[in-house]
């Protein structure tokens, strides 16, 4: 893996202090061609950027220095935080995304994500619960990095939270129906984990939760498995 520099003009001019960096946010680029994504993120006309971009070959492109606010999150929220750009570092991962041909992240990309995340988490003392996907903080607008992002594997290294339920328990509860009270509890758990309390569309929020924490089946329906996972995480994160 190489580190290369390709600076973007799209960032806030005011420099921040390192204490303001509390979140790490993962994205996919969502474009067919990697070079198009790099061009867009470094073009002043598009008004978008990221701190880092991970290429398919694992190379890390530095676009905005950590202490400047890059424009990657947009309208977003997590717990009491709003508009997360000012408090976060953005990492874009090259992948065509759901709108094109959503593909597995490459081994080289995963290796670079691990290396980069570990060093940023250590440097800025980012809590594991504050390592998130774009769809976590903007569930009604975004699907990235999506259900192919290896969250379970990353959590082994303190990169993002994961539940502690066994595969047996998970499978036994998949597709088992829930009642109205359990549905209410599910959403309360989601708010306690950090998801937005403004629910514009229940099914979309359930899908965002599944892309992150129940990647085997993204159907937008709350079942006993989703409920158990949400309970387990709500206890851990609060």
Contact stretch for Zn ion (CB under 5 A) within 96-104, 137-145, 176-184, 208-216 = 137-145
* Nearer to Zn ion (CB atom), residue 75 or residue 111: 75
Q: How far is the CB of 99 from Zn ion (least distance, A)?
A: 12
Q: How far is the CB of 15 from Zn ion (least distance, A)?
A: 24
Residues 63-82 that bind Zn ion (CB under 5 A): none
Number of residues counted as binding Zn ion (CB under 5 A):
3
Residues 22-51 that bind Zn ion (CB under 5 A): 27
Q: How far is the CB of 160 from Zn ion (least distance, A)?
A: 16
Give one DSSP letter per residue of 111-154, joined into a string. Answer: HHHHHHHHHHHHHHT--GGGEEEHHHHSTTT---S-TTS-HHHH
Site membership for Zn ion, residue 136 (CB under 5 A): no
Q: Pick from 51, 55, 134, 214 the residue near Zn ion by CB under 5 A.
A: 134
* Nearer to Zn ion (CB atom), residue 27 or residue 51: 27
Closest CA to 237 of 82, 129, 125: 129
Closest CA to 29 of 38, 18, 21, 20: 38
Q: How far is the CB of 233 from Zn ion (least distance, A)?
A: 22
Cβ atoms of 229 and 172 closer than 8 Å: no
The catalytically annotated residue of 34, 47, 92, 216 is 92
Binding mask 138-177 for Zn ion (x = CB under 5 A): ------x---------------------------------
Q: How far is the CB of 25 from Zn ion (least distance, A)?
A: 8
* Nearer to Zn ion (CB atom), residue 27 or residue 161: 27
Active site residue 92: yes
| Residue 184: burial class (beta carbons within 10 Å; 0-12, 13-18, 19+) | exposed
What residue ranges bind Zn ion (CB under 5 A)?
27, 134, 144
Cite the active site residues.
92
């Amino acid at each position: 893996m190489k580190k290369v520099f390709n600076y973007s003009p799209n960032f806030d001019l005011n420099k921040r202090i390192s204490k303001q960096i509390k979140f790490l946010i993962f994205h996919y680029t969502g474009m067919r061609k990697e070079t198009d994504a790099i061009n867009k993120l470094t073009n002043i006309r598009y008004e978008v950027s990221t701190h880092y971009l991970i290429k398919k070959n694992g190379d890390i492109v530095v676009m905005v220095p950590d202490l400047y606010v890059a424009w990657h999150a947009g309208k977003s929220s997590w717990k009491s935080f709003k508009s997360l750009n000012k408090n976060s570092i953005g990492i874009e991962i090259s992948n065509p995304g759901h709108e094109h041909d959503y593909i597995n992240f490459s081994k080289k990309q995963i290796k670079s994500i691990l290396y980069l995340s570990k060093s940023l988490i250590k440097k800025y003392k980012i809590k594991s619960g504050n390592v998130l996907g774009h769809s976590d903080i903007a569930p009604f607008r975004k699907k990235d990095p999506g259900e192919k992002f290896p969250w379970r594997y990353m959590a082994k290294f303190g990169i993002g939270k994961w539940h502690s339920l066994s595969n047996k328990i998970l499978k036994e509860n998949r597709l088992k129906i829930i009642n109205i009270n359990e549905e209410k509890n599910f959403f309360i758990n989601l708010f306690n984990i950090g998801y937005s309390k403004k629910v514009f569309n229940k099914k979309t929020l359930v899908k965002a939760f599944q892309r992150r924490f129940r990647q085997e089946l993204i159907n937008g329906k709350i079942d006993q498995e989703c409920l158990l996972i949400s309970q387990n995480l709500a206890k851990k994160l609060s």
